[in-house]
Amino acid sequence: GAAGRSTVALRDGWRFRLIDPDGAAEDTTDAADPAHDDSAWREVAVPHDWSIEQTPTTEHGTTSGTGFLPGGLGWYRLAFALPRAFAGKRISVEFDGVYMDARIHCNGREVGHHPYGYTGFALDLTDLVHTDGRTENVLAVQVRNRLPSSRWYSGSGIYREARLVVTEPVHVSRWGTCVTTPRVSEDSAVVRVETSVANASGAAREVEIRSTVEDADGRTVARTASRADVADTATETHELTVRHPRRWDFASPHRYTLHTELRVGGRTVDTYRTPFGIRTFHVDPDEGFHLNGRYAKIKGVDLHHDLGALGAAVSADAIRRQMTLMKSMGVNAFRTSHNPPSPEMIEVCEELGIIMLVEAFDCWRTGKNRYDYGRFFDEWCERDATEMVLAARNSPAVVMWSIGNEVPDSTATAGLAMADRIIDAIRAADATRPLVIGSDKYRRLPAKGSAADLMLAKLDGLGLNYNTAKSVDDLHAAYPHLFLFESESSSETSTRGTYQEPEHLNTGENHTPGGRATSSYDNNLASWTMSGEYGHKKDRDRRWFAGQFLWSGIDYIGEPTPYDVFPVKASFFGAVDTAGFPKDMYHLFRSQWTDEPMVHLLPTTWNHREGDTVEVWAYTNVDTVELYLNGRSLGTRRFDRKKTVDGRTYLETTEATGDDKTFTDGPYPGSYTSPNGSAGKLHLTWRVPFEAGELKAVARRGGRTVATDVLRSTRAPHALRLTPDRESVAADGRSLVFVTAEVVDRHGVVVPGAEHLISFDVAGGSLAGLDNGRQESAERYQSRTRTAFHGKALAIVRSGTRPGTVRVTARADGLRTDTATVRARRAGDRATTPAPEFRPGHPAPVDHPHADASYSGRPDTLPAAALDGDPATGWSNGFHKAATALLPAFDGARAEDWISVDHGRTRSYDRVEVSFTVDEGHSLPAAVAVDVWDGRAWRAATEVRTEWATASDAPTVIGFRPLRGSRIRLTLTSRHPGEARGAVRVSRLEAPAA
């Protein structure tokens, strides 16, 4: 530790026991007793999330919203001895976050209770601990996460860092420095430092306070000192001048370090380190956001705090990977949805040049779930808001404080006083940053004098969640003192590698078990959401609109809209999936938010049926793209170069888009129209008759090729390919390597349909988690096996504690094995807690006969219903999309779908009996094609004879020449594609053995 101060990380050696996965039982254990026998408990390292270790289940109060992972009641215990040198010192324990309702005991005595899972806290242990070097001290932490406590996956346990802090009686208080830069120019910057000094010695002391500023290279650039008489506490203010300061900015996030030294009687008693940055910013209601005097759009994302397969357990490596991905998409801002962030997240954003909107709460007194923070709000809101600010106020990345998200109380009369309490607490700790709220309550103008109207008088800015362009303009006119931005934009839902009906602006969802996925053509929307293209255009066209935060940057565990059924346990909102694999939305925003030339084709695979016509899109930030199929040009498409009304240039097609029904006049009725009078799309389009081979996009600027993207048809799966994200790793037992596993053909092309079960083995390290980005999955995140999804999976590997080589091997039946190696570097601080052993997972067996379908339009029309013998039930591909704020209702029939029956063993088929429903929404199919799976390929039925039924739900009998196989499939062509009456419903399906 620093002179006079010791900081001891409390990471290793914790003992843990999950007492009750429901968390409802009264705790009758004596786990707080130092003499309690915890020898049978697990040894774990902190940060630790016990929920992510569990198997997804519908028991223990879980819901889809929290990822079907249990919470419960758990205990942690840590035994440690303190040296004699600590006698007479002040000793405290700090936790950065415990989810949730934590009670901390030291040597048998309860020393603190902290309900909120997202703020840190410190507890004084000085009078309770032994400092003789021999006697063990025992910290015991009870954690209770009774579900539902959150709308998204929260994790459970001591999921952020913990530490002991040992100081002299005279020391810098916790969060005891406040650094601001009130005057900044090219020549100099004034750095104002307020230092809070505590004196617990019982006698007044004269204290010398020294402040020294160093730049990133360790050079001293300013220093000063003063003396103060400190009886109990005192605050001393210094002003230092830094010559020719280097600004913290998006592209060059330069940081300085303040070193605070306290001296008493000529002896150093404390040294305290505070990173900070020199920058200016302001947000103007009419001129938007400016950083260091330069106009900039906020190009932001919302993220929840889980780290995919690692759960909520904080890892700086995993956070850095997430935010580096976001930065590569063009992101320059992050909203901490909907809670204060970890210190590691703040540090990474500082390093990468990403500004932060730090948010306090998802609810106030009125909760959104039975066991959420609403229970504790009245007693704790000021303390938690203050802790949020103190923990982050010195960060140059932080530019706004949010008092809440979609808070029910925020538009109620009682909520005005609640807001005042939070606002007063925040401004008491930091008066330099604007205050905002993120809200879905302002999609229409509030009545003058209403609580919703009065709330806006308290704030500097308003974050809007899913507002139309016209409502944004109305608010700007009605509240000229507020700066406006989109705190949640878009919220389109998509699954990596899934594509559906690009001709429609909103599509139905597939409810077939095992096939629950949504389209990546930016065209699957919930009733309140909007396409990514629409959200961007609305923001782009208004200089005064400060910017947007895309919901969401990365898929997260829980909240799997549009589904609410096991085992769909992860969200669909992200531009990147939970494994960190970009989806197409990533490339849309990359094309709008970055300058380096790029082009991206979708669909991202070139495996289709001969005769299909495929709608191909290109996202690009270059004006001209030519598409080639097997070397033949399919034509060039171009964006028009346009200007916003304030003169900023952008690329867009010029055409009607049909994406905003509130525009009823002008040149493009029904389409979002820019204030400059133009409308268009942010992608280029070709309709391509499929032909196997290579599809290539060539982007040109001024006739010169500046970017390409290539898709290739694949052959049979041949091998596994492993790619680690780094060449070396610290051998500290905590650092992470992210290894991508791909199923490839003989030419090294990823096979999109590959779903092999992959097993992973690690030597010289350990597995930390597995993922594949699939939202519908009952697989454990912490297992030795994972199914590939669209040809990919991710292994997160934790380093060992010995220098040498970390070796990762992946195996799958029928595929060539691959091994990846990473060099492990010597590290000073090494983990001592053994890594947990993961067991392999095994997919649940399938019952036979088993029905499947390419698409099921509703959750109550699944293929299994065609086999239950009840004509009142049945499978259907019919769907209905309700109207949204921008789009009309839609229920047009799909052109073609299939339904199949798998009997699990080889048999002979020569006929199938199928009963079709005919009603206002369903018609007989125009054609039925029959195929049988022989174990290697689908074989088309020949000599087909069809006896069509003459009544609804009566059997249609289809006979054919006998075929042997285990599965029979019927491909059904709609008689009325695109019309409300054209869906197909099968109430009974039987394929008797020949």
Which residues participate in catalysis according to the annotation?
406, 488
Q: Which residues pair with 649 in a beta bridge?
A: 643
* The pair of three-digit structure tokens given for residue 171, joined into one six-digit string: 């020391």
- Alpha-carbon distance of 679 to 399, in angstroms, equals 33
In three-state secondary structure terms, 708 is strand
Q: How far apart are the first and last CA of the chain?
A: 80
The Cα–Cα gap between 67 and 360 comes to: 23
166: Cβ–Cβ under 8 A, 6 or more apart, which residues? 1, 5, 6, 7, 8, 86, 89, 90, 91
- Whether residue 552 is preceded by a cis peptide bond, meaning omega within 30 degrees of 0, is yes
Token pair in block for residue 52: 């992510």
Identify whether 47 is preceded by a cis peptide bond (ω within 30 of 0).
yes
d(CA 811, CA 428): 58
Q: Where are the alpha helices (DSSP H) in 620-695?
A: none
Order of all β-strands in the sheet with 694-701? 632-638, 624-629, 694-701, 704-712
Asked whether the beta carbons of 709 and 636 are under 8 A apart, the reply is no
**CA 667 to chain CA centroid, nearest Å:** 39
Collect all residues with Cβ–Cβ distance below 8 Å to 12 and sequence separation of at least 6: 45, 831, 832, 833
Do 366 and 355 contact (CB within 8 A), yes or no? no
Cα–Cα nearest to 660, from 888, 491, 891, 466: 888
Contact 362, 406 (CB under 8 A): yes
Q: Tokens 């006929």, residue?
A: 911
Write the single-letter amino acid at 560.
P
Q: Would you call 65 helix, strand, or coil by DSSP? A: helix
Strand order in the sheet with 233-243: 170-184, 188-199, 233-243
Query: What does DSSP say about strands 945-947 and 355-359: parallel, antiparallel, or unpaired?
Result: unpaired
Gap between the Cα atoms of 697 and 617, Å rounded: 10
Beta strands in 479-598 (DSSP E): 483-490, 547-551
Q: How far apart are CA 237 and CA 145, in angstroms?
A: 42
Q: For residue 411, which phi and psi values (nearest 5 degrees)?
A: -115, 20
Q: Report DSSP state, residue 658.
A: -
